[in-house]
Each structure stands twice: as C-alpha cells, then as structure tokens.
Structure 1
C-alpha cells in the first residue's frame, strides 16, 4: 500500500497547479492533506479519483484545515481531538482501519516572534495524549512544524530561535511523540539530507535551503510493515513537497 501526505498550502491553489494530475500519477491508496485553507464545499475532487473524502476545516475561513482522500473505506473517522479549545482550526483527522489508525495532523506554528510557542507546547502534550488513547497502533503523518535535528535543516545555527527549530519545539517533539513512535524516514535513512519545505523567499527551493518538517511516524509494532519512506522533492505545487510511506498490506 502507498500513503501520501502533503501540505498543499491551499487546496484550491494547488488544484490550479496540477494537483489532480499529480495525485492521479502518484496512485496512492490514501492521500492526507494539510493546510487546505478551504471549507468542504469549496473543495472539488472527483469521486472516481478518491471515493472516500473527509475534510475538516477551520472555523476561520481560508486558514489551516486537513483532509483525507481514500480508496479504502475507513471503519470510522474522527475529527479533532475532542477538546473544544483545540478543535477550531481543523488540524487533526483520524481514520480507523482494521489493525491501525491513520492520523493526519497540521501542527500549529509557533509564529513570528514565537507568539504561539506556549500554545504549541500545550498542543504537543494534548495531541500526544490523544494519540496514546487510541486502542490500535498508529501511523501519524503531516506537517509537524519542527525540524527535529540539525541534519533536518539547511542552516541550523541561524535558525536556532526561529519557529520550528527552537530547543523547546525539538525537545517537545522528542518527548511527546518520539518516545513511542518512530520517524520512518530517519529510521531508514539516518544520514540522508533531504528537505520537504522551502520558503518562497530568497530562491530557497532553487538553492535547496529547506527544512524537513513533514513526516510519516509509525508505532514500533508497525515498523516491520514499512517498506520505504520517501520525500518527493521533484513534485511542485506548494511550498512543501509530498512525503510517501510504502507499507506491506
């Protein structure tokens, strides 16, 4: 089976940049999207491409949002974390399958000047508790808005106090998630340098001055099923590229 996760930075804009042809070519069983920036009625994806579609939008229009497209009907779909104060921005969808959950998440950014860092720290703890409450192993994917190690960012020294690479966020990622799930890409490729997000400024993508902030994480017991974890840097349409997880059925 093939899973794709992609922060599309606006699904409507991405559709105008060839999104439908891209996902058709990728031919994944499940596609998870983050930062859709649209209400469900504004998203037009043909059902013959993906018959099962689940969108979760922010109350604030044109902001945040997640979506799951699937060729396999989930047993159940859960929207949000079940806590009102954390469920206004459409950041989490959980799809239940026979022997695992698939969770897509768009983790809050700490923002300019780290204005949301304290909220981000709270979010990490709440999200971790939610994931651990699920009664099956999990695959977690999405834009987690953190570059975990220096190898995951082009310029670690100059970004040390920027959102996504603070000590607080990196420590939180390790303590709240990596104690019980594995970073599939880094597990398979411990020394590989590859990025999944590039700023639109300063020709960052052309110069490959990027960050690896998009992940496929897996419970320990699911790791034997992981065949490959890929970063599809040759695919455009967003400031992020898709990340792929291939698993044994």
Structure 2
C-alpha cells in the first residue's frame, strides 16, 4: 500500500488540476476537506470523471465545511479544464440550481422573509451557478470564476421542464406528490457536450430518497475534426 499522495507523484502519473497556493480560502484545511471520502476521481483517455457526494446543508456547524468543499471542487474542475482536459462531474451535489429546480421555493422564501436574489446568492449556490453555463448569478462574477466551464446535461435536454426532482423527503412522504428538489447532476465540459445524445432522470425507479440521473454518450463522436468511435477513444491502441 503506497503512502504517496497522488499529487506528489511524478507529473506524468498525476491526474492534475490540484489547487495552487492562493486558490483556496484556507478556512478549512485541505486534509480536513478530504477526510470524508466525498470525491472519487478517475482519469480515462477521453475525460476525467469526478463522482461526488457534496455535504448537505443541515445546520450552521457545517456551513464553513460545505462552502469550502464547493470552493475546492470549483477550483479543481477549473484547473483541469484549463489544462485542456475534458471533465464529467456527477453525483449528489446537494445544491438546488434555481427556483425551477425545487417545489414551492418562492412560497418557502416568503415564509422565511428572504428574497429570490438572496437565495440565489447563498455561497454554495453562487459558486455552483458560476461553474455551470447559464447559471443564475446576481451581480458581477467572482474573481477566478469569470467564465463557466460545465454544462448541466439534464437542463440542456430539458431546459424548461418543471418537477424534474431527484430527491424527496421520505419522512413526510413527499414523493407521491413530487414535492422535492433536483440536487443530483451530470455535468460536462464544453468540449464533449455534443457527445451526449440524451440526459434524464428515472423518477419511477424506487428504493431510495433519490432517483437515478443518466446521460447517454453516442457511439461515434466528433474528435479533432472527424467522427471517431468512442470505443477507440476510450481504448486507444
């Protein structure tokens, strides 16, 4: 069993994209952020795949950890894209993108005496919406987040669909009425967006408080100016 960190391996053995000095706020130490096993990263010939389970927004004690986790995720993805790598980010991100991605958001905000702009601008949601194309942002973009880098594939194929929820409250049995939120995503970088032929949820598949999200990649995709078999890209000679 190796005790060498991946980021300390020779550059040709690293996945890369590691945060550089000054890119993270340092509110929560890197080792603490990485201590809960919330992210698995695999590199394939065609893309880097990140499987993520983001911290939930449960109570005040986790706010700093949650925000710092999203900050680190944002930086890692942006660094990978800046290195010329394609990225797929998928998983339970525990963040609602906009008011159309959850049931009765506006009613809930009225009860809490919060405006939609305030809700959209909550730290983790603001980071997320600056990471994705067509995200809702109030005011100027943050330094280091001047451009979006990932597409929300379900929204690409269903841009105005309401009720596309992926998570429900099982204690209150809200699933039959589809009173829930969309917090599970498949996101991809711009260079491979056109590889996907569909993306959707499987709301009828039971067994959890979440439902699956899927995206389909074409058998033949555009690469370097020509159509190439995806199999050949994923398994180069």
Give TM class, smaller chain. 0.5 to 0.7
- TM-score, L = length of structure 2: 0.65
Equivalents in 2 of 1:96, 1:203: separation in Å? 39
Give the alignment partner of residue 171 of structure 2, picking from 201, 210, 218. Answer: 201
Provide the residue aligned with 2:78 in structure 1: 132
Residue 205 and residue 77 in structure 1: after superposition, are their counterparts in 2 closer, same or farther (change >3 A)? farther
Provide the residue aligned with 1:192 in structure 2: 161
Superposition deviation, residue 131 in structure 1: 1.6
1:149 and 2:98 are equivalent in the alignment: yes
Equivalents in 1 of 2:43, 2:159: separation in Å? 30
Residues 100, 139 of structure 1: 8 Å contact kept: yes
Structure 2, gaps ≥5 residues long:
1-12, 20-29, 134-147, 219-229, 231-237
Superposition deviation, residue 107 in structure 1: 0.8
Equivalents in 2 of 1:85, 1:115: separation in Å? 14
Equivalents in 2 of 1:110, 1:167: separation in Å? 15
Residue 118 and residue 158 in structure 1: after superposition, are their counterparts in 2 closer, same or farther (change >3 A)? farther
Provide the residue aligned with 1:173 in structure 2: 128
Equivalents in 2 of 1:197, 1:125: separation in Å? 23
Superposition deviation, residue 159 in structure 1: 4.0
Q: How many residues align?
A: 169
**Mapping 1:80-95, distance limit 5 Å:** 83-95=30-42
Equivalents in 2 of 1:77, 1:238: separation in Å? 35
Equivalents in 2 of 1:167, 1:159: separation in Å? 16
Superposition deviation, residue 122 in structure 1: 1.6
- TM-score, L = length of structure 1: 0.62
Equivalents in 2 of 1:190, 1:220: separation in Å? 17
The secondary structure found in structure 1 opposite 2:206 is: coil
Superposition deviation, residue 77 in structure 1: 9.5
Structure 1, gaps ≥5 residues long:
1-75
Residues 98, 120 of structure 2: 8 Å contact kept: no
| Cα root mean square deviation, aligned | 2.3
Residues 77, 96 of structure 1: 8 Å contact kept: no
- Higher helix proportion (structure 1 or 2): 2
Equivalents in 2 of 1:185, 1:146: separation in Å? 15
